[in-house]
Structure 1
Amino acid sequence: MKRKLLGELLLERGIIREEDLEEALRFQKETGGLLGEILVLRGLVHPMELYEVLAEQGNLLYAGRDLEELLQSIDRTLLERFDPQDLLRFAFFPRRLNQGALEILTPFPENPHRDRWLEENFPKTAIHMALITPYELDWLLHFFFKERFLKEATAGLFFRAPEESAARVLVPWQWGVLSGILFALLFGVFLAPQTTLKVLFALVNLAFFAQVLFKLLVGLAGSSREPLAISKEELESLDPRKLPVYTVLLPLHREPPEVIEQLTSAIRALDYPQEKLDILFLIEEDDPETLRACKAAYPPYNVRFILIPRGFPKTKPRACNFGLAFARGEYLTIYDAEDIPEKDQLKKAVLAFRKLPKEYVCLQAALNFYNATQNLLTRLFTLEYSFWFDYLLPGLSRLRLPIPLGGTSNHFRVEALRKLGGWDPFNVTEDADLGMRAHYRGYRVGILPSTTFEEATSHLKNWIRQRSRWLKGYLQTFLVHNRRPLHVLKTSGFRGWLTLQLFIGGTPLGYAASVVLWGVLFAWLFSRGKFLEPYFSGPILCIGAMNLFVGNFLGVYFSMFAVFRRNLDHLLPFALLNPLYWALAGIAAWKGIGQLLSRPFFWEKTVHGMFRRKGP
């Protein structure tokens, strides 16, 4: 007897109308998606109704109607024979052994990879199957294995590659070197204070100037060539039926309802087949307010809520690692709660990955702001971001140097991301660390010609909170990858090693040094040179003056340079205030240094939703 089609069964049961089925079938022909998923995503069929009909179609049972009864039927001793990663990879859950047959639960009755794996691991064992929805599979995996997922998310990188983990701020030899430098400095100040301070002042000035000059050269390299070009014709020629499943991780914590609503709208607006989007809202278990806001926003059915168990450290990378275990896509990206990516960004990423060699495991999209003109702080922030993402990162890419990723809109090959060990949950700029780690393991990061618009922090206290976390994380990354300087030199050469020192270490230390240098300048001015003259005379004074004028000129030049690619000419006058912005960053740098010593893993959250966008 010929098996009835899914659409016929849904019509017979009166679940859908004929015109809805015709429209869904037409859409299926265009995109190549599964009919059931299309109907669910359009809100025409409830997942439970769909799987009851699928069970009838395949002469199977649907086991998910009563979750309490389902839980009672699980043989917990049987679970010890399974690795949860295999259950995720092959999308099934073992229920029990019944008269020599293995009963499994799955949303996908036809899965040859799973069937082959079961045949290899359970030879001569009959397999009986019952259906559950994808949401019920996630729930079972989370209920029974969340501690194992959490352990991997928290300690996986540390156990596999402790030298790459920021779980220890300093390793013993680094403590020894820093203690030796501090002792030598104190000893020098005690025995020969003038000579010691002159040498120290000269070294700080030279190091500060070196990192500014390095960024200038990298920025110039980034200005001479556009990132990977993707034409409109290439986008239009993409066959939606051949697009892969794309996972989107959205780590959320204490987000206001209006931010969640904006996020849901941004997800719906993505120009990508919705049935091929695997969207994960990562919500902390102890954050019921955000969970309620997410439910109230009525996100589409391709959104799954993944609750992150309580644990230490409570950081975004730990949540992302937990979510990575549940990712079903070939590619994956991360967005922050307030992000609005360009609609075609995922398609551009797919095209870019197809064009580039396999060594490219990540693509970084540009970031900019939709509230650039809200106040003075957002204007200065926009100038900085424009130079960073439109010139500096493309410059690093062109020079084949390590690229510290931005915290959002990084696009990964999932297989490679898992090989890299995911994110370091102890590093508060896990993005920058992952970009450096990928480079030192022989991979490459590319620049994606697409922009995600974010909310620029508009309140000074919130900005200091955010910036101090970033700079603390850059120091963590600097210390972690300097544990093995010979390895860095071997894998990326002298230029890669120099990038670690001047770009990763130089950014926070340069900001911190600028505060000290400005303090010395004002002390010299107010004392009319008398108090500091013995320490800063002659060539030392010339070095300081050069840094004052040339260093600040270059800082202003960076900001002026930044306006051209995005036609931000209206921000040009504000570039003259760049020294003031650097001073604020210097304050944040010292706060970050203090937290590195006292609370290295503390994630100081940036408050979102302080700007209300006009229009849709």
Structure 2
Amino acid sequence: MGDFNINIYRKELFVESKLLTNKQVSEIERIKIKLNKSFLKTALNHGFISRYHYNKVLEGFKLPTHHLDFDKIDEYKSFSDNHERFTLFLNSLIFPIEHNNSVAFVVADPSDVNNIRLVEEELNVTVTEIFVTNELDLNKALHVKYGGEILHKSVFHLYENDPDSCAIETFTLKQVFALGVLFFIFLIFLYFNFIDTLIGVNLIMNLFLLSSILFKFMLTIHGSKTELESKVSKEEIDAINDVDLPIYTIHLPVFKESEVIQKLVWNLNSLDYPIEKLDAKLLIESDDEMTYNAIREMKFPTNFEPIIIPYAQPKTKPKACNYGLYFSKGKYLTIYDAEDIPDSDQLKQTYKLFNKLPDDYIAIQCALNYFNKSENFLTKMFTLEYSYWFDYMLPGLDSLRIPIPLGGTSNHFKFDKLMELGGWDGFNVTEDADLGLRCYAKDYKITVLDSTTYEEANNDFFNWIRQRSRWIKGYMQTYLVHMRNPAKLYKSIGARGFFGFQFFIGGTVFTFLSYPVLLLFLLIYICFRSKWIEMLFPDWLIIISIVNFTLGNLIMIYTNMIAIFKRSSYALIIYAMANPVYWLMHSISAYKGLHQLITKPFYWEKTNHGLTKKKN
């Protein structure tokens, strides 16, 4: 290392500036050695100092600066051709550049002499000039410059290694051909026997709708048997020695979430887990200036590491999480949304349960519920739905050993097995449900845990429609992907899993699509009595339809009523009666999702968070 003529030492930069105390410096030194990170990276990402105040102190030293131009990042000379060197630059917070026909370093911490020397040795150069820049800008420049190979893996790894499991192709040629043949047969039947064909279609739709509802009711009953079970006791949690705990990675995918970043920091601080063993990654798209600037200007310490994801399509949550996998260090990994409030001991509970389960269990799904359940009609209905889904239906699937479609957050994985599965499908907009099916197809198992993460329920109708249409579209994608080869699926997950998949994934989509059609048929019969109508809707079919609608709605109303008991949400019981209206809202979302499946299958419709006025 050459003579930089810069006399910036750690004591001056961090202690004399009152950013840190001597005790905190010692604690950071201890953690950084364990994690093999630079002093500054440890201090910023483990809640010791804020980026805003560090940058203000750094500006006071009047050091030579260098503006990293992201629009011209490709023009910078490349000094890395492998992931290991890229990781070294990230951990050292050093961006090498060519300057005045020699190598210079752009750094975030000019006092970090050890890492400057380490990178000099790695590049086999002697640096005579260093420049200082904002740590977050340096981080972004490194990812944009050197993250291309990892970005490619994040998007295409599953497709290149297991194309049959990837949703990059919405309809395969065989599926298009099969659908075409079925439609042609339908037209032939219509031509030769118009009335009986329509009656037959109506009857099949009615019977499948009722069967799907009865299947979900059966799951609810089975799930209710486990209502009071606890897989991990408080005594077991209390007996855990923090020294024995492994590093736990948390993925925090965000997009235009500046309004909830502050809540996210508070919620992470409430987790009962050693700070040096938390590997929290805030996953930010490189063009998300709103969130990026919110983090840079944050005036209090954070306990997450920003991972800036270079631009690429599709711009989806699974792609972002896949990118984060290559920088994750945990034995276990979970995902939380920005506004999530998990039980404080959730990580310890999943750690303990993983150690109690057989080795073939590689994922644990925790329950989701809402902290703003009483805000308006929509949040109340949403809470009822999540309550019976996570508290009863998923435990029902678990007890019957039927594949569990994972929820969007609070699913915990064995990291090595997640990598073995190829991560998430970046082209599937319900990547969680798809991954749950792939786990079972590879002979792995998932279970559920009675630990809750509280989220923000959608309180806006159009925002809810956007979110739900994406979910249902993703279920359509998942069904099409896994039904490319029905015989293979049957063989891999067995008869129980296969038929459970038909009713739970396929049945959910079919229910929402068919419900308004069958309701319309019934209304046509009631409102427009004529000879033709009576021929199309004979009395026996109308009786079946009325019984089907009455029984189906009563079952779902009853299911919603059951949902209130575990969480003692008795004030919501009257809203269970509104389930038929809530289903029509789902049908609107389903048809929007079907349209998008055909026109823009990979489009990730953004759900806005931070809209609630309720305090969490």
TM range (shorter): 0.7 to 0.9
1:347 aligns with 2:352: no
Query: Match of 2:246?
Result: 244
**Superposed displacement of residue 546, structure 1:** 2.1
SS of residue matched to 2:147: helix
CA distance in 1, matches of 2:558, 2:322: 39
Q: Secondary structure at the match of 1:507?
A: helix
Shift in alpha-carbon separation, 1:23–1:159, aligned structure 2, 3 A: closer
Pair 1:192-2:197 in alignment: no
Deviation (angstroms), 1:274: 1.7
1:313 to partner: Cα distance: 1.0
Q: CA deviation at 1:190?
A: 2.4
Return the offset for 1:186.
2.1
Percent of aligned positions that are identical = 39
CA deviations on 1:511-564 (whole Å, 9 max, x unpaired) are 110010111111111113654210221432232122111111111111011111
Instruction: Name the aligned partner's letter for residue 168 of structure 2.
Output: A
Take 1:485 and 1:109, find their aligned partners in 2: how far apart are those partners? Answer: 60
Q: CA deviation at 1:420?
A: 0.7
Cα distance in 2 for partners of 1:395, 1:593 equals: 28
Does the aligned pair in 2 maintain the 1:228–1:447 contact within 8 Å? no
Is 1:433 the counterpart of 2:438? The answer is no
Q: Provide the residue aligned with 1:202 in structure 2.
A: 203
Aligned to 2:502: 501
User: Structure 1 residues 138 and 27 mapped into 2: Cα distance closer, same or farther (>3 Å)?
Assistant: closer
Tell me how far 1:79 sits from its aligned partner.
3.9
Q: Does 1:43 align with 2:70?
A: no
Alignment TM-score, normalising by the size of structure 1: 0.82
CA distance in 2, matches of 1:14, 1:295: 18
Q: Is the 8 A contact 1:24 1:38 kept in 2?
A: no
Cα distance between partner residues in 2 of 1:389 and 1:85: 43
- CA distance in structure 2 between the aligned counterparts of 1:291 and 1:200, rounded to whole angstroms: 53
TM-score (norm: length of structure 2): 0.82
Please state whether the residue corresponding to 1:605 is helix, strand or coil: coil
RMSD: 4.0
Secondary structure of the corresponding residue to residue 513 of structure 1 = helix
Corresponding position of 2:15: 15
Per-residue deviation, 1:299: 6.0
SS of equivalent residue, structure 1 residue 270:
coil
Q: How many residue pairs are counted as aligned between the two chains?
A: 571
The 1:45–1:306 alpha-carbon spacing in structure 2 relative to 1, beyond 3 Å, is closer
Counterpart in the other structure of 1:569:
570
Residues 295 and 127 of structure 1, relative CA distance in 2, 3 Å threshold: closer
Residues 399-456 of structure 1: per-residue CA shift (max 9 Å, x gap):
1111111111111111111111111111111111111111111111111221111111
Amino acid at match of 1:254: K
Contact 1:442–1:491 (CA<8 Å) still a contact in 2?
Answer: yes
The one-letter code of the counterpart of 2:525 is W
**Which residues in structure 2 correspond to 1:91-170 (within 5 Å)?**
142-170=143-171
Is this contact kept in 2: 1:222–1:396, CA < 8 A?
yes
Judged with a 3 Å threshold, the aligned counterparts in structure 2 of structure 1 residues 129 and 442 are, in CA distance, closer, same or farther, namely farther
Cα offsets for 1:127-152 (capped at 9, x unmatched): 9999x999899667524431111111
Q: CA separation in 2, counterparts of 1:152 and 1:139?
A: 19
What letter matches 1:463 in structure 2? W
| d(CA) in 1 for partners of 2:573, 2:150 | 49
Q: Aligned partners of 1:583, 1:266: CA distance in 2, in Å?
A: 35
> CA offsets per residue over residues 344-377 of structure 1, 9 Å max, x none?
1111121121211221111111111111111111
Whole-angstrom CA distance in 1 between matches of 2:457 and 2:163: 35
Residue in 1 that maps onto 2:237? 235
Query: Which deviates more, 264-273 or 395-404?
Result: 264-273
Q: Contact (CA 8 Å) 2:147, 2:310: kept in 1 or not?
A: yes
Q: Tell me what 2:4 maps to.
A: none
Aligned counterparts of 2:237 and 2:30: Cα–Cα separation in 1: 19
Alpha-carbon shift at residue 77 of structure 1 (Å): 7.9
Cα distance change, pair 90–379 in 1 and its aligned pair in 2 (3 A): closer
* Alpha-carbon distance between aligned partners in 2 of 1:493 and 1:109, rounded to the nearest angstrom: 59
Indicate the residue corresponding to 1:171 in structure 2.
172
Give the structure 2 partner of residue 113 of structure 1. Answer: none
Q: Secondary structure at the match of 2:48?
A: coil
**In the superposition, relative to structure 1, how do residues 223 and 200 fare at CA in structure 2: closer, same or farther (>3 Å)?**
same
Structure 2 unmatched runs, 5+: 1-8, 55-62, 98-106, 115-121
Distance 1:442 1:95, change over 3 A: farther
Q: 1:471 maps to what in 2?
A: 472
One-letter identity of the residue aligned with 1:290: T
Partner of 1:58: none
**Cα distance change of structure 1 residues 88 and 399 upon mapping to structure 2, 3 Å threshold:** farther
Counterpart for residue 550 of structure 1 = 551
Whichever residue aligns with residue 48 of structure 2, its letter is G
- The Cα of 1:200 is off from its aligned counterpart by 0.5
